[in-house]
Amino acid sequence: MTAHDATTHALRKTSTTLADGRELIYYDDTEPYVSGGATRDLVDTRALSPSMSQSQMRFDVLTGEWIVIAAQRMDRTFLPPADASPLAPSRPGRPATEIPASDYDVVVFENRFPSLSETAAQQTLPTEVDGEALWPLAPGTGRCEVICFASDPEASFVSLELSRVRTIIDVWADRTAALSAIPGVQQVFCFENRGKEIGVTLTHPHGQIYAYPYLPPRTDAMMRQSRTHFERTGRVLLADVLAAELRSGRRIVVDAEHWVAYVPAASRWPVEVHLAPRRDVADLAELNSPERDELAGVYRDLLRGVDAFFDGVDEVPYISAWHQAPVGADRELGRLHLQLFSMMRSPGRMKFLAGSESAMGAWVNDTTPERIADRLREVLT
């Protein structure tokens, strides 16, 4: 079956269950698998206890934010050698990994050490911490998935062929649609962390997908701003931001048929660029085939531009964050866009979130958005 009806990109989806009950899905774009002539290994030979999450959420009454308590993540795998990565294929003569097959194209599976999980609902929890009404308590329900971009542990997203990038876009779209349908999920977030400098614990090329049972603080703040803007103007705020950036042109980095990349006028990070579709699109699942086709090239080019941003730095650590509209209320006010940024402020030097940013949330950028845009245009030409 294809990953999404909106695309003609050939893709076969095969689901199985790991030894502890977690779901794993193969997304194949190569033969003989894509046509069904062969099937990946579906049997996990490991002896694992049933997956069960103890995650919980506690409400911070001072900020109005939910804080996830996921103590089981303390014991997750930390920077194993490439030949011992749990994200590598299971090869003869080596211990079995999270992926039973000896090779794969793209794989998605439920995280073994999740912050949020559907099994968390099976806990018996009180509704308050210490019986105090000030501190609401709830199970950490939702879902956390890992997406492996390639079986090669030495690969990176920017090294992938365009056809594989196109596959990953389809997979993001497919998972967005599937996770959005889970009862209680309010937002789906696809992202990639790259670089030990920002805390990556597995170097194998991969990303993550979170399905939140609440609106995360940034989305909640954007929705408040969007509601206020809509009540005042009758228009969608993120669409107006894109239109204003296009009118200015000063910070535009990519101006393509379906996509526009720009450095936001109030960027926070030393390297930051946003990518948005010209058309009003709520999430990745709503992208049509031409938009996905163009996105594959534009997105990979942006990643390469970030890598070339600093002279003498081959791989810039970054976070690639796909912001999507909420699943339920205020969905019509949300709009798909990518926030791609790095904490690196100069070669070998990182921006640390110290007193002002961490304690007060009062952001200070060390450069100007216009300088960021100038450099990105320079390295992208």
Residues annotated as catalytic are 206
Cα 103 from Cα 112, distance rounded (Å): 20
> Which residue's entry shows tokens 């977030």?
189
Rounded distance, CA 180 to CA 195, Å? 29
Q: Quick one: tokens of 208? A: 């993550």
CA angle 217, 221, 224 (to 5 degrees): 140
Q: Look up residue 103 and give its amino acid.
A: D
* Secondary structure element (H or E) that encloses residue 23, with its range: strand 23-28
Report the candidate in 177, 216, 149, 192 with the shortest Cα–Cα distance to residue 321.
Answer: 192
C-alpha torsion sign, points 236, 239, 245, 246: negative
CB atoms within 10 A of CB 19: 16
Query: Which DSSP category does 126 fall into?
Result: -
Burial of 50 (0-12, 13-18, 19+ CB in 10 A): exposed
- Report CA torsion sign: 213, 135, 138, 77: positive
